[in-house]
Structure 1
Amino acid sequence: MFAELLDTFTQLINQHPTWAGLIVFLVAMVESLAIIGVVIPGVAIMFGVGTLISNGTLDMASTVMWAAAGASFGDGLSFALGKHYDKKIYTIAWFKNNPDVLKNGHEFFEKYGAISILIGRFIGPIRAIIPLIAGILDMPTKHYIPTNLIASALWAPAYLIPGFFFGKSTTLITTNLENGWPFILLFAVLIWAFYKILKQR
């Protein structure tokens, strides 16, 4: 599934390079939205985006900015929905069928308060729900906005860099295999011969 997702994303970027920033923004925004973000594999998607940075398809600095902006906007929408609909959120069918989602979000927010916006951004199961909870519990907007901006700014590189290094490492391994295959083959033969000798003895 991850390979297919990455392949689709790569094709989309390659076909529309001028829209790459906007595409990253939308991906980060959608995976940050309440309910949608709970079921979308955000870590895998951002990991995939990181690999695209490693091969030069995307630029690191601009991608980080677009991803941070998308995450901040998505969280902001969830916060606004929580503020506007308040307790009506509990009547949504999905939350009725998954009561632990809101319950865990409430407990986390009550435990850490405003800082939960920052901490929760890095915890998969509750990442997309904390801004909604903050809105429902009427967190002051003047406190929410700066915390949200800081959280998104830290989250974007933290989730992109692992994919970047993974992409770089696979490139190095491939290059080393291409250049050093005779030595690798010789080493494998020696290991096999050593194993056969030990087995005979």
Structure 2
Amino acid sequence: MDIKSFTDPVILFVQHNAHLAPLVCGLLAFGESLAVVSLVIPASTILLALGALIASANLDFWPIAGAAALGATLGDWVSYEIAKYYKYAVFRVWPLSRNPQMVEKGSAFIQKHGIWAVFIGRFFGPFRAVVPLFAGIFTMPFIPFMIANVASAIIWAIGLLIPGLGLTWLMA
């Protein structure tokens, strides 16, 4: 199955249901930020494409970007809480169970950089899926975790949606 088979139906759905664009973007961002799920959902690609749709369908950017930021924040928060509860048992779940080097690198990254790892990890595909887990396992304090989580989610959401929006404006 190619990526187009995932992206096209979502984009078509939003074209026909523009009022649901914030909800769709929020759910995509949630899935993209939720540990493990993010590895199988091409949400970043879809969000980039939806950025172009925002301009061409004359949708309001900020509610959609806000929903995407909220979804991303919630996805990381859920991942953090799961790891806080299950601790090292999380390492027995795919993909961590099959990638001990990912566990080692993720552990070292979070221990070395602290909340900056949460912030920076949002912008790098494979790290996005596991950094919140490591933050929860190593019991990073909640408030610093959430500050980095929210700040990075806002920048990430805007950064994913603006390129398509800008290209559409340039081509108009």
TM-score, normalization by structure 1: 0.77
In our comparison, the structure showing a higher alpha carbon Rg is 1
Deviation at 1:3, TM superposition (A): 4.0
Report Cα offsets for 1:160-198 as digits up to 9, x if no partner.
Answer: 1112223334x44xxxxxxxxxxxxxxxxxxxxxxxxxx
Residue 69 of structure 1 pairs with residue 81 of structure 2: no
Could you say if the C-alpha distance between residues 103 and 45 of structure 1 is closer, same or farther in structure 2, counting changes exceeding 3 Å?
farther
Partner of 1:44: 45
CA–CA separation in structure 1 for the residues paired with 2:169 and 2:86: 45
Aligned identity (percent) is 32
Write the mapping of 1:1-201 to structure 2, written as runs, cut at 5 A: 1-56=2-57, 58-169=59-170, 171-172=171-172
Deviation at 1:151, TM superposition (A): 1.1
Deviation at 1:2, TM superposition (A): 4.3
C-alpha RMSD of matched pairs (Å) = 1.8
Partner amino acid, structure 2, of 1:141: F
Report Cα offsets for 1:100-138 as digits up to 9, x if no partner.
Answer: 332222121122111111111111221121111100000
Deviation at 1:17, TM superposition (A): 3.0
Partner amino acid, structure 2, of 1:63: I
TM-score, normalization by structure 2: 0.89
| SS state at 1:9 partner | helix
Could you say if the C-alpha distance between residues 92 and 25 of structure 1 is closer, same or farther in structure 2, counting changes exceeding 3 Å?
same
- The answer for unaligned runs of 5 or more in structure 2 is none
CA–CA separation in structure 2 for the residues paired with 1:81 and 1:34: 9
- The answer for unaligned runs of 5 or more in structure 1 is 173-201
Partner amino acid, structure 2, of 1:68: A
Partner amino acid, structure 1, of 2:136: G
CA–CA separation in structure 2 for the residues paired with 1:39 and 1:60: 26
| SS state at 1:31 partner | helix
CA–CA separation in structure 2 for the residues paired with 1:144 and 1:93: 24
Segments ≥4 residues shifted beyond 6 Å: none
CA–CA separation in structure 2 for the residues paired with 1:152 and 1:93: 25
CA–CA separation in structure 2 for the residues paired with 1:64 and 1:9: 17
Partner amino acid, structure 1, of 2:66: M
